[in-house]
Amino acid sequence: MTPSILAVLQRPLLKKISEWPSNSPDLNLIENLWAIIKSKVEKRMPKNLDDLENFMIEEWENIPENALINFSSSMRRRCELIIENNGERIPY
């Protein structure tokens, strides 16, 4: 294909892609994990950067395996909800 034909064919595809958000917090499971860690670390009230780092590592290592399984298991439903909501935010 010539570059000009390829450019014409790509226009609808590029428009569709450009309408898609660059990222979706609803599909970014790490945000859920960071929220859990942040909450637990704040409760421990770190007094300095060393405390903060140590508490973050400890809380990361203490995330229950079932929480990780639940987060990953929710992905299909999250995707379905985003599709149903035409790409808008969902309650996750």
Give one word for 58, left, alpha or beta, with left for phi > 0 and alpha for psi -120 to 50: alpha
Place of tokens 């599709």: 83
pTM of the model: 0.60
> Is the model's pLDDT at 1 over the cut of 60?
no
Which residues are CB-contacts of 29 (< 8 A; sequence separation ≥ 6)? Answer: 71, 72, 75
> With bands split at pLDDT 50, 70 and 90, how would you rate the model's confidence at 7?
low
Q: Per residue in 20-79, pLDDT tens?
A: 555 677 788 888 889 999 999 999 999 999 999 999 999 999 999 998 898 889 889 988
